[in-house]
Amino acid sequence: MLVRNGIMARAALTEDLAFLESEGGSLKPLGITRYPRSQNDAPAMDMVTLHVGGVSGSNGDTFQPEHALKMQALVEEAPDVQGANAYIMRPLMFAGIANARADAVSANDKKGPFLFMISRGQMGSSIAKDLNGLPVVTTTQVNNTSRKGSATNLTYVLCGNFRRATIARVGVIELALSEHFAFANDQVAIRVVTRLDFGLARPQSFVICPTLIQA
């Protein structure tokens, strides 16, 4: 049971990674970040909308407070009357957003008000993973190895209407055991097979802000 649960958890992570970043082909579906992209802030049919970071540098871009609302608006401009319903980003990216503060007394002291509208809650309470009223899903399946200039550790933020993302499955997951494959070594081989596909019904209902400097 312990081994089976571990394998199933790993299979779920493998699927998530494919849905986000797979290049597609006969064995893996095309991931959201691999879909064709529109011009900056210009939603186009069958393309994921590109939104370039507000402070664009030669070695990476910076996610600004106004970007979240702009990304949500771009989903609606697609047009998608339902609008965005979630963000996906790395855990440290969200931490950087939640902790971002304005300057107070001197330049770059970062001691002023928090820049993003995230409730600090009561003392001792956790900070809800929300941004502009939408839930934030944090995962290390989002890469932090994107390149721009000499930087090789950049990441991205994804916003969209995930009702437009479809996962099609045949069955759930197949686990098969063989006591004969490595019988001489007193080992049991385990095979995991899952049959599924993934696709975006409306790629323009998703917005990506790429090559971001992670907090």
Per-residue model confidence as pLDDT tens for the chain (215 residues): 888 788 888 888 999 999 999 999 888 899 999 999 999 999 999 999 999 987 788 999 999 888 999 999 999 999 999 999 999 999 999 998 888 888 888 888 888 887 776 666 666 667 789 998 899 999 999 999 999 999 999 999 999 999 999 999 888 788 888 888 888 889 888 888 888 999 999 999 999 999 999 87
Output the pLDDT for position 123.
Answer: 65
Q: How far is CA 125 from CA 33, 115, 119, 122, in A?
A: 34, 20, 10, 5
Cβ–Cβ under 8 Å, residues 214 and 45: no
Measure Cα distances from 132 to 66, 115, 145 in Å.
10, 12, 27
Q: Where are the domains of the chain?
A: 36-98+126-212
Provide the β-strand partners of residue 177.
190
Rg of the chain over Cα atoms, rounded to whole angstroms, equals 20
Q: Rounded to the nearest 10 degrees, how much is the dihedral formed by the CA atoms of 86, 87, 91, 92?
A: -150
Distances, alpha carbon 97 to alpha carbons 17, 34, 35, 92, in Å = 23, 25, 26, 9
Can you tell me which residue has the tokens 């004969």?
180
Residue 157 to residue 87: CA distance in whole angstroms: 7
Name the nearest CA neighbour of 202 among 74, 25, 14: 74
pLDDT at 117: 63
